[in-house]
Every structure is written in structure tokens, then in C-alpha cells.
Amino acid sequence: MIMRPGQQLLLPANPVFIWFSLLSALALNMLTNMGLWGREAWVPDLLALALVFWSVHQPLRIGVGTAFFFGLTMDVHQGALLGQHALAYTALGFLSIAMHRRLLWFPVPTQAVQLLPLFAAARLLELLVRAAAGSGFPGWSYLLAPVIEAALWPVVSVLLLAPQRRAPNPDDNRPL
């Protein structure tokens, strides 16, 4: 793959770190659902953000099956309609894998803007599944969550790519 000028060569992603970050995002999602905000509609879905990140950066390791598994886990945790999060996460995983080659050519802020419709589509899909089951509209603050998730994309990119940016054997004579 041809790299952009000034782009840093990254180390391979450690599978242990990938799974640790996904399980940490799952735990953070569970804590935010039980914590201060409860199940407010505007709270961003950190697990969806981590799944999209790893589906974009490591599509051969984290795919649709992983997204489905974590979606079922969130459905069971929240006591939601079984398959609601699984369907949304699976769609997110598929769409992020479909656009990962094009997305990585852009700088991180532009990636966030391009991922905003993806996050909004996942929230809309969850809303449609809830509506089909007879649930009401959660309020207009529900539309704020995809914007917050897109705004968190640069932060997540910096945090999750940090272990890949370190030098494998630091040396004063080699800048890489």
C-alpha cells in the first residue's frame, strides 16, 4: 500500500490489545448504563466506536461475527429486544469493513465526518427495531449520540493506535 507523505509506519496490532480494548469498551458501556447517566438517549455507544475502529484498522481480525457477538452481549446486559444491538453492530461492522480502504486515506478529522452517517444509520436501525416492537421515540437527544461518537473518533484513534506507534527497538540512531 502506498503511504501518504508524513504518515508514520505502524507496528502490527497485538491481538491481545485488540481484545482488551474491546472488552474494556464493553465494560465502559455497561458502567455508563448503570452509572450516573443511566440509559440516557444522548450517551455515546463506546463499544460501537471501538468495533468500528478495529473493523476499519484490522478487518481480518475483527469482523461482522465479532460485532454480532458483542451486540448480543449488549442486548442481554440492557435487557433490550434480543438482536437490537446485534443488528446495529453487525451493520456497523459490515459498512466499516466495506469502506475501510477508502477511509484510511483521509486524515482523522475527515474520517470522523465520514463516519457520522454510519453511526447515525446504526442508531436509526436500533430505533426502527424498537419501533417495530412497539416502543416509543426516546426523544430528540437520541440524535446527539452519533454526533458525540463522531467527535470521539479522533480521541479513540490516538488512544488505540498509540501502542502501534512506539518503536520496536528504541535506538538513538534510528528514528523509526
Give the tens place of pLDDT for each residue, 30-74: 988 887 666 788 889 999 999 999 999 999 999 999 999 999 999
pLDDT at 49: 96
Domain boundaries, the chain: 15-164
For residue 170, count other CB atoms closer than 10 A to its CB. Answer: 8
Phi, psi of 12 (to 5 degrees): -65, 150
Across 73-93, average pLDDT: 90
Tell whether the model's pLDDT for residue 175 goes beyond 60. Answer: no
pTM attached to this predicted model: 0.87
Mean pLDDT, the chain, whole residue set: 87
Tell whether the model's pLDDT for residue 103 goes beyond 70. Answer: yes
pLDDT digits (tens, 9 = 90+) for 118-150: 999 999 999 999 888 888 788 888 889 999 999
pLDDT at 137: 81
Tell whether the model's pLDDT for residue 2 goes beyond 60. Answer: no
Q: Which string of DSSP letters, residue by residue, matches the chain?
A: -PPPTTPPPPPPPPHHHHHHHHHHHHHHHHHHHHSSS-S-TTS--HHHHHHHHHHHH-TTTS-HHHHHHHHHHHHHHHT--TTHHHHHHHHHHHHHHHTHHHHTTS-HHHHHHHHHHHHHHHHHHHHHHHHHTT-----GGGGHHHHHHHHHHHHHHHHHHHHHHS-SS--SS---
Q: Which string of DSSP letters, residue by residue, matches 61-88?
A: TS-HHHHHHHHHHHHHHHT--TTHHHHH
Q: Which residue has the higher pLDDT, 103 or 1?
A: 103
Whole-angstrom Cα distance, residue 32 to residue 160? 20
Tell whether the model's pLDDT for residue 27 goes beyond 60. Answer: yes
**Cβ atoms 48, 122 nearer than 8 A:** yes
